[in-house]
Structures are given as C-alpha cells and as structure tokens.
Structure 1
Amino acid sequence: MDQSITEVKPIKGFYKLSMKQRVGFGAGDLAQNLIYQTVSMYLLIFYTNVYGISAASAGVMFLIVRIVDVLWDPIVGAFVDKRNPRMGKYRSYLVLGGIPLTGFAILCFWNGFSGSLAYAYITYVGLSMLYTLVNVPYGALNASLTRDTDEVTKLTSTRMFMANVGGLAVGYGVPLVVQYLAPDGKINSKASAEAWFTTMLIYALVGLALLIFCFSQTKERVIMDEKDTDNVHVSDLWREFKHNRPLRILAFFFITAFAMMAIGNSAGSYYMIYNVHAPDMLPYFMALGSLPAFIFMPLVPAIKRTIGKKQMFYVFLTVAILGMLMLYIISSAETLKSSIGLVLAAQFIKSTGVIVATGYMWALVPEVISYGEYKTGKRISGIVNALTGIFYKAGMALGGVVPGLVLTYVEFDKDNAVSQSALAEKGILWLVAVIPAVLLVLAMYVISKYELDDITIDKINQDIESRHTY
C-alpha cells in the first residue's frame, strides 16, 4: 500500500464532530460504566461477604456467564447489522436495551434471595445479556459517526474521559454511599445489603438517563447500505476473524487487557480492607483508578501525533507495570506496607498507564472495521463489535474466575470482615499486582504485531468512499 499519502482529501465519510456530539456519544460509555464498573469492582465482594455465596461458586458463575456471552454476542452482532430500526440502526438499542438493563442491574444487588445461587445466576446472566444488547450496537455506533482518524481519536479521548467519570463515580462514590447507608458503616458485612440495593438503584437510574441523552445526540452517517443487510450472517464473524489480521491482533489485546482490569478491579476492595487495613481509604484508592484520565486522556491526540500510537501503547503499558511493581514492593515490606501515601502514589502510576493504553484501544475498533470493509465490501460493524465483545468478555471471564479460585486456594475467610491470614493476604497481593503485570507484558507483545498506521487507514477509508456513488 502507498505510504506516501500524508493528507486526507475532503471526501464524503470524513465528517467533523462537534464537542456536543462527542460528549453526547461519551455519555453512553459513562452510563455503561456506572453498571460495568460497579459489577467489576464490587460484585464479587457483594456476593461473598453480603449475599453469602463462596468465592469458588462466584468464580465459577462468572466463568459460566462469560461462556453464555460467547454464544450470545455473535447473535446480537448479526441481529443488529441485519436490521434498521426506525429510531436508528445502532442508537435505538441505547433505549430498547437500556431500560431492561437498568432493571437487571438493580436486581443483581438485591438480597431478597440471600445465598440463592439460582437467583444470582438468573440476574447476572440477564444483566450480561442485556449489557451486550446495549454495548455491541454502542460500539458499532462509534464507527458510524465518521471515518476521519483524527476525529476518531478525539471521539475516543472524549469517550474515555467520560467513561472514567463513570469509573470515578463508582470507585469513589459507591463505597462512600454504601458506608453512609449501611447501619454498621461497612461495605463487606451482611448488614449492608439494603445499602447496596439503594446505591445500585441510584446509579442505574442515572445511567439510564445518560443512555437516553446519548441517543439524542448521535447521528449515524457511515453504515451499511440497506440492500446489503440481507447478506449478513452470524458466520460472517468467523470469516471476518479469519481474514482480518488486525482484528485478530486487537481481539487478543482485548483478552489480556480486560483480564488484567477485571482481576485488579475485583481485588482492589479486598486489598485495601485486608492488606492495607484501611477500609476508609478504599474510596480514594478506587478513585485513583480513574483520576488520571482527567489529566492524560485530553492529551492523547497530541501524544499520539508526537510518538505514534504503537509507541504510546509501549510507554503507558510500561508505566502501568511499574506501578504494579511498586504496589508489590510496598505491600511486601513491613516498613512500607502501612504507608497510605505510597500505596496511593503507586495506584496513581499504575492507573495512568492502564487508562491511556486500554482507553485508546477503542480507537482501533473503527480501523479494523474499515480494514474488513476494504477487503470484503461489507461494513459489518455489529459483527466486528460482537467479536471484540467475545474477546473482552473472555478476558472478563478470566478476570472473574481467577480471583475466586485464588481466594479459595488461599483459604479466604468470607465471614471475617476485618482480617485474613498471611497466605490470604499474599494471594490478594498477587491479584492486585503480579498477575495483572504478567498480563500487561503479554499485551505489549500482542500490540507490537498491529500494523495499521494512520496513513494506511486513511488511504483505506479514501479508497472505500471512492467506490461509492452518491
């Protein structure tokens, strides 16, 4: 492919987006993170300490739910690509799926059937399937707004900024609200059950309002022609995966990235309560998982222009690994482990790397969609987002089952709300620092194989648009 092309001709498809449009789109990610981050950070500790099921049972359930997702995601992707609802091909699901998603999110944190595995399975499977029904078309909506790579970078930066507003609201806000509402002031006791339900009720309803706002502010412009929708099949997913090398690379990056985040997020509460012995500092520790976004995500377009997107991944993945190494050293040294300031500093460094690297990966999804369209003539955004969904949920499955198995292996005592054995503390530390760091090294290797630079993808998009007659 000609690498000499340095600028994009002003042809149809390369639309410019206003700040309001970018913020409107980002509101959808903020909304979903109010649910996704709450589940990722706190559902395991809710299940084990409040709802009353074992860590092993919870871990197995997380794995089974993700297996269901593997079967469900391609069905949703093909369903979305084949249909053109009156309210919008992709944006309509923000409302149609968002309303029942809100209900199931609330039910997941209801303790009315305390200890019942059947109820936990029904509500968590339902939540996950409805999340897919919103998230897959939302991801496809990203690629339908514009082909312009600079605009996609700005859109992704805004989206990730707002996603981390959601992460901050969950990481910092959820434990504070639960502690305030709980009669014993704890988040990990059976007495806090009603507080969890009320907190999720508030967050889910706010999320629904944000999904409706996202629906109102987005406009689909780059979508498949209606005459081609009948040719979309679930089997296109596997064909696309086979022939689209950049998509395969991105898919495996999603596995490692989401496994790393799921493991680290779910272990954070245990770490602050049982290792650092500072449950009152948990909101601040969790908030630092999102706070760097407000500093660094607005700088991503400039950083990418300066050093290139692949080097940007290398730099920030390395920063994240450094932060995890610091957490491990601090928590392993008796003279340092009680230093809250050092723990928070290490968390900030770790989160800076994680946020930028995993935030920008979403800007690569429209690229692999365009690459597939260039090769096959089909712009199957729903199918591609379903495929990336399968892999990031595979990562979440790994991230869900590993903490449960590790906690079982180290004999975690779910009935003790204050302390654990030295072995259990070591297992929790591995979940927070060691296992995520290993996964990030693997992620760095995977992303090194990604070959679509901006010049190449702009040329691909120009060629695609030049094929069409308007």
Structure 2
Amino acid sequence: MNAETKISNELKGFYKLSQVQRIGFGSGDLAQNLIYQTVSMYLLIFYTNVFGISAAAAGVMFLVVRIVDVIWDPIVGAFVDKSNPKMGKYRSYLILGGVPLTGFAILCFWNGFSGSLLYAYITYVGLSMLYTLINVPYGALNASLTRDTDEITKLTAVRMFMANLGGLAVGYGVPIVVQHFSPDGKINSKESGEAWFITMTIYAVVGLAMLIFCYTQTRERVVMNEKETENVKVSDLWTEFKHNGPLRVLAFFFITAFAMMAIGNSAGSYYMIYNVQAPDMLPYFMALGSIPAFIFMPLVPAIKRAIGKKQMFYVFLTIAIAGMAMLYIISVVPALKTQIWLVLVAQFVKSTGVIVATGYMWALVPEVISYGEHATGKRISGIVNALTGIFYKAGMALGGIVPGLVLAYVGFDKDNTTVQSAFAEQGILWLVAIIPALLLIVAMFVISKYELEDDLIDKINLEIEARHKN
C-alpha cells in the first residue's frame, strides 16, 4: 500500500491505532472484569456464608437481575446512540458510569446490613444497571475507533489479553487478599465480612483508575452525527435483529458460547474436589482458564491472516472440544485419573481453544454494525451492543440454570465435602466436558452461517465512507 492510498484510507475511516491506544482501550475491559468477575465468582458465597441470606433467595435475586437486564439493556443502547455528551459519545460513560459503579460494587460486599434482602436487592440491581451503562457504550466504542478490519483484530487481541489479565487477578487473587485481611484466614465465614469489603474496595478503585485511563486513550472517530441519530429508538433493536442476518448469527453464537463457558466454569471446582480429589490444585486449574490468553491472543492477527477468520473459529473450537474429550477420557480411566499433570494439560488445551474462539467473536461486533449501517443508513452501535449483551446474558443465565438441574438430577450431596456417588461424579463430568462440547459443536454450526469475510466487510466500509463523502 503506497503512502497516498494509506492517507486516503485514513481519511475514509480506516484509522490506525498505536499500541498505547490499544492497551488503553483494553484497560476498559480489564477494569470491568475486576468488578464483574468478582461478582460472578464470589458474590453468591458472600451472600450465603457472610451476608447471611439463603441460597434460594440469592438464586431468585440473580434471576430478577437478569430480567431487569433484558429490559434495561435496549433502553441504554438507544439512549447512548441518541445522546452526544460533551465528554464523548461513548467514552464519557466510562467516567459518568464508572464512579457510581465503583461505589455500588463496594457496597455489594459490605455486610453492615447483614441479612437484609432489601439491601442486597438495591445494591445488586444498582450494580448491574450501572455495569450495563458502561458495558454497552464500551462495546460501541470499539466500533467507533476505526473501520479497518486488521486494526479491529489487533484491538480485539489486546482487549482479550487485558480482559483475561483481569480474570486471572480475580480468580487467583481475590481469595488470597480476603484470606490476608480475614481474622480467621477464611473467605466463607461471618468474620471475613470486613475482609471482603476491603478487598472489593481495592479491586473497584483499581478498576476505576483503569476506566479513567481507557477514557484518556480513546476517541470516537467513526460515528453518526446528531441529525442521523436523533430518531433512534428502542424498537430499532428488534428491527435491526430482524433485518441483519450476520447479527442474528453472532447473537446465537454468543448464547451457545457464554452458556458453554458458564457451565464449564461453575463445574470446575466440583470437578477438582470430587472427581480428581485434589482441592489444593483448584487455583492452578482455574488459573489455566486464563493463562493461554497471554500466549495465544497476541498471535491472533497473524493466525487470522494465515488461515482466515472462519477457519480460525473452526480450528480453535475443535481444539477446545479436543481438550474436553481429554478431560473426559482422563476422568473415566482409573490409571489416568490420578495423574494431575494430565488434568492440567487437558485444561490448558481446552482453555486455549475457548479463549481464542470466544475472544475473537468480539471483533465481529463492529462488522455487523457496519453491515447494518450499509443496509439502513443508521450506525446504531449502542443498540447492537445492547442486543449482543442480551444474548450473552441469556447464555450466562442458561449456564447458571443447567448445573443446578444436573446436580439435582444426579443426587449431588451438598453436605458431603469430600466424596460423591459414582452417578454424581458422572453428572459433574457431564458439566465439565460433555455438555460444553455439545454446545461448541452447535457453536461451530452457527458460525458456519456467518458470511462477512474480510474482503466483503472492507467493501461495505468503503462504500459507506464514499456515501458520507458525497
């Protein structure tokens, strides 16, 4: 590409980003994971063991929050598309939403009103609504930085690297910090309440600092003007879903992918404690759920250039299924079951496939936004990200329901902390390997229907920019 073409493309929206800008954008996902992953992994045990409400009441609350999300997400999507704050169309919410989100995250892990279901509802619903107020515009910000597909691939690779860094800091770090501040050295006792409050304060404040850094390093450059977005409304979400075929494909991929991750993650601790009988190795097993990101996500742009986008999905979804098959075989062969290193290798293989495939799917969101803009003339990034948010939360909700149903079916004994029946162990293995593998096969079929190859999306983006120029 000669210099003249390069300058021309820059003017047409195909902007190049520096590595600092990519890291700055990715720090926003790191920040959100410091809060969201802490809530996802540990809020339930805090509510039941520290705050003092029943598991059933907490379960109902989690369902209510997901219902609120379904209503709230499209409202936020339409609002951010229609609004044009002076601090930035999308990035302003990193600050405007980040400050109150920090406060609500800390309050969620404060047991000053111990046992109060009303307090728990107010703080958790507030936290979830404020998280959406950041997450939806943050997703839209991704599509506003550039139209260049190679740049979006690099941006997504850095973003997923940073997101998994946040996940690792939470999965491995939170229990250690809580134990450090807890007077009895435990994370699941009444006495650990203050330790949880201190820990969440640390993580939330660091998260806010990351959101501020993200704000300083990003700038919206591919957005519609006020006149073009003044008629955006919530019903555009369903109109967009109806007419945007690639968006429908991506939405159903999100459901299967997030259901798979939620089921596998929730079953991991049961698997290491009861099937492998090595609870002391649980932190390492869980850490391997994030570590492959630091090795393979930086290689994604090169891999995509070498084999193509869709083929990359096929390869890494197959790797994930192979890792799950390894876990299953190791678990049913007595001679292999005692070899912990084999379990860890299988977890690494599985996580490698899952991280790359599910990480790269975020790079497709700007593509379906451009596809919709090409067809309708509206670049409603907030609406599209609200819709993908609904579907990934639907997948997470499904992933939260299935493990409980399976464990109930196989007669899991919650009072036994060391051993389960052979049938219960089999049920845990279904959750770790069989059900996630089946969902990945469905995901592979779904992604096969995705038609936006790089040359087509580049053509679409060039045509859009040509329209604006005229």
**Same-fold call, TM > 0.5?**
yes
Q: Do 1:56 and 1:405's aligned partners in 2 also have CA atoms closer than 8 Å?
A: no
Tell me the distance in 2 between the aligned counterparts of 1:227 and 1:396: 37
Q: Do 1:410 and 1:427's aligned partners in 2 also have CA atoms closer than 8 Å?
A: yes
Tell me the distance in 1 between the aligned counterparts of 2:181 and 2:427: 30
Displacement, 1:75? 0.1
Tell me the distance in 1 between the aligned counterparts of 2:413 and 2:120: 21
Aligned to 2:298: 298
Q: Do 1:63 and 1:398's aligned partners in 2 also have CA atoms closer than 8 Å?
A: no
Q: Do 2:31 and 2:207's aligned partners in 1 also have CA atoms closer than 8 Å?
A: yes
Which of 267-276 and 224-233 deviates more?
Answer: 267-276
Which of 453-462 and 43-52 deviates more?
Answer: 43-52
Aligned to 1:366: 366
In the TM superposition, 1:67-82 aligns within 5 A as: 67-82=67-82
Tell me the distance in 2 between the aligned counterparts of 1:254 and 1:176: 32
Which of 198-207 and 330-339 deviates more?
Answer: 330-339
1:22-41 alpha-carbon deviations (Å, 9 max, x no partner): 11000001111112222233
Q: Do 1:59 and 1:401's aligned partners in 2 also have CA atoms closer than 8 Å?
A: no
What SS does structure 1 have at the residue aligned with 2:12? coil
Displacement, 1:418? 5.0
1:280-319 alpha-carbon deviations (Å, 9 max, x no partner): 3222112111110111011101111111111110111111
Q: Do 1:59 and 1:405's aligned partners in 2 also have CA atoms closer than 8 Å?
A: no
In the TM superposition, 1:1-400 aligns within 5 A as: 10=9, 11-400=11-400
Q: Do 2:44 and 2:58's aligned partners in 1 also have CA atoms closer than 8 Å?
A: yes
Which of 174-183 and 63-72 deviates more?
Answer: 174-183
Q: Do 2:229 and 2:378's aligned partners in 1 also have CA atoms closer than 8 Å?
A: no
Q: Give the structure, 1 or 2, with the largest relative contact order (CA under 8 Å, sep 6 or more).
A: 1
CA gap of 1:450–1:396, structure 2 versus 1, over 3 A, is same
Tell me the distance in 2 between the aligned counterparts of 1:411 and 1:240: 44
Displacement, 1:342? 1.7
1:119-173 alpha-carbon deviations (Å, 9 max, x no partner): 4333322221111110000000000000011111111111111111111111221
What SS does structure 1 have at the residue aligned with 2:230? helix
Which of 412-421 and 122-131 deviates more?
Answer: 412-421
What SS does structure 1 have at the residue aligned with 2:336? coil
Q: Do 2:74 and 2:234's aligned partners in 1 also have CA atoms closer than 8 Å?
A: yes
1:245-285 alpha-carbon deviations (Å, 9 max, x no partner): 00000011111111111222233233334443333322211
Tell me the distance in 1 between the aligned counterparts of 2:59 and 2:204: 24
Which of 291-300 and 187-196 deviates more?
Answer: 187-196
Displacement, 1:206? 0.9
Q: Do 1:370 and 1:461's aligned partners in 2 also have CA atoms closer than 8 Å?
A: yes
Q: Do 2:411 and 2:424's aligned partners in 1 also have CA atoms closer than 8 Å?
A: yes
- Indicate the RMSD between aligned Cα atoms, in angstroms: 2.4
Displacement, 1:322? 1.5
Tell me the distance in 1 between the aligned counterparts of 2:184 and 2:225: 58
1:393-416 alpha-carbon deviations (Å, 9 max, x no partner): 111111222233334445555565
Aligned to 2:434: 434
Aligned to 1:461: 461
Tell me the distance in 1 between the aligned counterparts of 2:186 and 2:271: 15
1:150-197 alpha-carbon deviations (Å, 9 max, x no partner): 111111111111111111111221222233334454444555444333
TM-score (norm 2): 0.92
CA gap of 1:154–1:92, structure 2 versus 1, over 3 A, is same
Q: Do 2:157 and 2:360's aligned partners in 1 also have CA atoms closer than 8 Å?
A: yes
Where do 5+ consecutive residues of structure 1 fail to align? 1-6
Which of 132-141 and 164-173 deviates more?
Answer: 164-173
What SS does structure 1 have at the residue aligned with 2:65? helix
Displacement, 1:439? 1.4
Q: Do 1:60 and 1:401's aligned partners in 2 also have CA atoms closer than 8 Å?
A: no
Tell me the distance in 2 between the aligned counterparts of 1:191 and 1:337: 37
Q: Do 1:62 and 1:400's aligned partners in 2 also have CA atoms closer than 8 Å?
A: no
Letter in 2 for 1:33: N
CA gap of 1:345–1:335, structure 2 versus 1, over 3 A, is same
Q: Do 1:28 and 1:210's aligned partners in 2 also have CA atoms closer than 8 Å?
A: yes
Identity of aligned residues (%): 82
Tell me the distance in 2 between the aligned counterparts of 1:273 and 1:429: 12
Q: Do 2:319 and 2:350's aligned partners in 1 also have CA atoms closer than 8 Å?
A: yes
Alignment coverage as a number of residue pairs: 465
CA gap of 1:184–1:423, structure 2 versus 1, over 3 A, is farther
Q: Do 1:41 and 1:267's aligned partners in 2 also have CA atoms closer than 8 Å?
A: no
Where do 5+ consecutive residues of structure 2 fail to align? 1-5
What SS does structure 2 have at the residue aligned with 1:335? helix
Tell me the distance in 1 between the aligned counterparts of 2:185 and 2:277: 15
What SS does structure 2 have at the residue aligned with 1:90? coil
CA gap of 1:358–1:128, structure 2 versus 1, over 3 A, is same
CA gap of 1:450–1:130, structure 2 versus 1, over 3 A, is same
Tell me the distance in 2 between the aligned counterparts of 1:424 and 1:113: 37
Displacement, 1:47? 4.0
Displacement, 1:422? 4.7
Q: Do 1:51 and 1:111's aligned partners in 2 also have CA atoms closer than 8 Å?
A: yes
CA gap of 1:428–1:169, structure 2 versus 1, over 3 A, is same
CA gap of 1:407–1:443, structure 2 versus 1, over 3 A, is same
Which of 342-351 and 71-80 deviates more?
Answer: 342-351
What SS does structure 2 have at the residue aligned with 1:16? coil
1:188-214 alpha-carbon deviations (Å, 9 max, x no partner): 455544433332222111111100110
Which of 430-439 and 111-120 deviates more?
Answer: 111-120
What SS does structure 1 have at the residue aligned with 2:337? coil
Letter in 1 for 2:430: W
Tell me the distance in 2 between the aligned counterparts of 1:48 and 1:412: 19
Tell me the distance in 2 between the aligned counterparts of 1:166 and 1:435: 27
Tell me the distance in 1 between the aligned counterparts of 2:408 and 2:191: 24
CA gap of 1:349–1:63, structure 2 versus 1, over 3 A, is same
Tell me the distance in 1 between the aligned counterparts of 2:117 and 2:432: 27
Q: Do 2:41 and 2:171's aligned partners in 1 also have CA atoms closer than 8 Å?
A: yes
Q: Do 1:145 and 1:222's aligned partners in 2 also have CA atoms closer than 8 Å?
A: yes
